[in-house]
Amino acid sequence: MNWIELHNVEFGDCTVLGGNGQMLMIDCGSLNAILGKGACKFEEYASRLTKRYAPIEQRHGMISHFHKDHVNGFSAILQEEPLFFQRIYLPPAPQDNNGNPLLLEFALLVYTFVTEKSDYSELVDNIVTAFIRMRRLSSTNNLAVLCQGDQFELDDVTYEVLWPKQTEYPYSEAFYELVEQANQLLTTTWGNHAELFLTYKDAFCDCYLHCVDLFSPHSSAALEEKNEAVSRLEAILHEIDKIIYELNSLPVAQDVAELIGSQKARMRFGKELNGSSMVFHNQKQNRWFQNKHTKEDILFTGDATPNTMEKISELLHDRYYLVKAPHHGTSSEWWEGWRAIEIDHMLISNGHHSAGGMIDEKYALLPAIKHCTNCTRCRWYLEKGKCCNRKKKCRENEHRSHKVKKCPANQPERTDGMCGCNIYTVSSLGTYACDCTEQPRME
pLDDT beneath 50, residues of the chain: 286-288, 393, 395-406, 410, 412, 414-418, 436-443
**For position 387, what pLDDT does the model report?**
80
CA distances from 414 to 124, 187, 397, 422 (A): 52, 72, 18, 15
- Report pLDDT digits (tens) over 92-140: 999 999 999 999 999 999 999 998 888 899 999 999 999 999 999 999 9
Which of 438, 433, 437, 411 lies closest to 422, judged by CA? 433
**For position 345, what pLDDT does the model report?**
92
341 and 318 in contact (C-beta within 8 Å)? yes
**For position 292, what pLDDT does the model report?**
60
**For position 356, what pLDDT does the model report?**
86
**For position 419, what pLDDT does the model report?**
57
- The three-state secondary structure class of 363 is helix
Give me the residue spans of the domains in the chain.
Answer: 1-77+146-168+276-390+415-429, 93-145+170-275
Distance CA 270, CA 86 (A): 30
**For position 376, what pLDDT does the model report?**
85
Distance CA 317, CA 176 (A): 32
Residue 98 buriedness (CB in 10 A; 0-12 / 13-18 / 19+): exposed
Give Rg (Cα) of the chain. Answer: 23
**For position 190, what pLDDT does the model report?**
66
Q: Is 99 left (phi over 0), alpha (psi -120 to 50) or beta?
A: left
| CATH superfamily, region 1-77+146-168+276-390+415-429 | Ribonuclease Z/Hydroxyacylglutathione hydrolase-like (3.60.15.10)
